[in-house]
């Protein structure tokens, strides 16, 4: 491997000759050997940096064309497009565990785009700081990249994944209309419920989660870009904040605006905390749904066994024929990871001091991991489990007929206390509710049959 000499304000640095990054990126690469190759800055953040650097160049060209000339703007935009498209991914080696402002990742983007732009132009037109970073600071670009990446991840990955599972549940509801089974509360038998009603609870939970995520997207669409170092907008031309937000909207097809208060935008991360809370809420509901499915599918002979789910792979290295609810298990593990990430996001958001929050890289890492994992988890659960759920109607009917909580239907006729006595006698002597009720003299056999209709209890 050959090297070339790059320099920054601290002096000269050797950089691998085939890489587009410069001195500041190299210093960070050498000074933070923490999780190298594993916990690098998320690709979503690099993608977002490509978008905002192109938008900034276009805004600067419109507002200060004497500095951001036609030639510079074209070269920077062409290089930024390659960042957006992922063609320059190998030139972004920096880890999450760096400066808390993300300054080194901002400079990584500046250096890569400047060097590639100069290569495209065939001359040294662009400087990382003077041109690619024109009208910007790491302190407003990193939170801007964070918001762009979060909005894209939520709208383009998580919401569609959840909607796909919602649609599957809607079909399952239709397929299971009229199927009555025993309800359960406290993991104990309860009064009857239609299986379609049970599924509707799953579906409605996810629909509400999608509503909450959409609600959280709104505040994330406000961008810090234009605040520069401390929120005052120093060295940015008038109108840069508004124009750059407009260009980012054009590039993404999403409605971004400039944050009305840049002092808040640089130091507070309440929007990220709120949004991750919505992601966590969906993870919590997915945990509940996955647990319901694996409980209902438990067995095949010694469990509830009320539904059958796809058999995707052998479940044991020692027990032949065993099949496990592995898709449910991956969902619950992902949900736990998201819940843990929520703690990290909340703690990071609490660490804003004066004019800047310096926990942004770890917030980006955890937030985007949560969205990525949960989106992929939901899609996997949908395709490899939910679409194949089949009700075992005979088992549901068997469990329903054996449920002592059907006695609740007798309350209007024999009263709560007598109904309780009936249930207890039936359980103690292992007889039917009808036999117990008649034995206790509360109803005649004919009257019992007249008033006892479990299917009408839903």
* DSSP string over 309-332: ----S---SSSTT----HHHHHHH
SS3 374: helix
**Catalytic residue chosen out of the listed positions 316, 380, 384, 453:** 316
Tokens representing 443 are 């109803």
**Catalytic residue chosen out of the listed positions 7, 131, 182, 186:** 186
SS3 52: helix
CB 332 within 8 A of CB 295: no
Question: What does R_g of the chain's alpha carbons equal in angstroms?
Answer: 30
Q: Is 29 a catalytic residue?
A: no
Backbone angles phi, psi at 154, to 5 degrees: -70, -45
Q: Which secondary structure element, helix H or strand E, spans residue 108, and what is its range? A: helix 103-121
**Crossing angle of the two packed helices 43-63 and 360-384, in degrees rounded to 10:** 120
Q: List, in order, residues 6 or more apart from 360 with CB less than 8 Å away.
A: 100, 101, 102, 142, 143, 146, 269, 348
Rounded distance between C-alpha atoms, residue 439 and residue 422, angstroms: 9
* 6: β partners: 13
Q: Which secondary structure element, helix H or strand E, spans residue 6, and what is its range? A: strand 3-8
Rounded distance between C-alpha atoms, residue 434 and residue 431, angstroms: 8
Rounded distance between C-alpha atoms, residue 135 and residue 228, angstroms: 7
Maximum alpha-carbon separation in the chain: 101
* 397: β partners: none
Tokens representing 258 are 């400039």
Pairing between strand 352-353 and 11-16? Answer: unpaired
Rounded distance between C-alpha atoms, residue 143 and residue 175, angstroms: 47
Annotated catalytic sites, by residue?
186, 316
């Amino acid at each position: 491997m050959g090297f070339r000499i790059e320099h920054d304000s601290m002096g000269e640095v050797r950089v691998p000759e085939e890489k587009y990054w410069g001195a500041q990126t190299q210093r960070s690469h050498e000074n933070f050997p923490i999780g190298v190759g594993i916990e690098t800055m998320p690709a979503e953040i690099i993608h977002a940096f490509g978008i905002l650097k192109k938008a900034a160049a276009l805004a600067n060209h419109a507002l200060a064309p004497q500095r951001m000339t036609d030639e510079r703007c074209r070269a920077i935009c062409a290089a930024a497009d390659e960042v957006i498209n992922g063609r320059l991914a190998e030139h972004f080696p920096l880890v999450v565990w760096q400066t808390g402002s993300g300054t080194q990742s901002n400079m990584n983007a500046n250096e890569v785009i400047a060097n590639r732009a100069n290569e495209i132009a065939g001359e040294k037109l662009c400087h990382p700081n003077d041109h690619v970073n024109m009208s910007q600071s790491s302190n407003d670009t990193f939170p801007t990249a964070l918001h762009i990446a979060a909005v894209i991840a939520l709208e383009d990955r998580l919401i569609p994944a959840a909607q796909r599972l919602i649609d599957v549940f809607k079909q399952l509801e239709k397929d299971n209309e009229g199927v009555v089974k025993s309800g359960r509360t406290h993991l104990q038998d309860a009064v009857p419920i239609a299986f379609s009603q049970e599924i509707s609870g799953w579906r409605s939970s996810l629909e509400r989660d999608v509503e909450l995520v959409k609600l959280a997207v709104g505040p994330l669409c406000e961008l810090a870009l234009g605040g520069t170092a401390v929120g005052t907008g120093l060295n940015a031309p008038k109108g840069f904040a508004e124009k750059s937000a407009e260009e980012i909207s054009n590039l993404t097809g999403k409605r971004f605006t400039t944050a009305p208060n840049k002092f808040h935008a640089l130091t507070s991360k309440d929007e990220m905390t709120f949004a991750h809370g919505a992601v966590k809420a969906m993870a919590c509901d997915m945990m509940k749904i996955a647990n319901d499915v694996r409980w209902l599918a438990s067995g095949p002979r010694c469990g509830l066994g009320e539904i059958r789910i796809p058999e995707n792979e052998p479940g044991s290295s020692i027990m032949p024929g065993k099949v496990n609810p592995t898709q449910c298990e991956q969902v619950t593990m992902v949900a736990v990871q998201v819940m843990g990430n929520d703690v990290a996001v909340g703690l990071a958001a609490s660490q804003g001091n004066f004019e800047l929050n310096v926990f942004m890289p770890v917030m980006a890492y955890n937030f985007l991991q949560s969205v990525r994992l949960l989106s992929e988890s939901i899609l996997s659960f949908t395709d490899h489990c939910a679409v194949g759920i089949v009700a075992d109607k005979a088992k549901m009917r068997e469990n329903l007929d054996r449920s002592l909580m059907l006695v609740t239907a007798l309350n209007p006729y024999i009263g709560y206390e007598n109904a309780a006595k009936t249930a207890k006698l039936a359980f103690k002597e292992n007889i039917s509710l009808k036999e117990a009720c008649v034995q206790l003299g509360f109803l005649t056999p004919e009257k019992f049959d007249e008033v006892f209709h479990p299917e009408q209890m839903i």
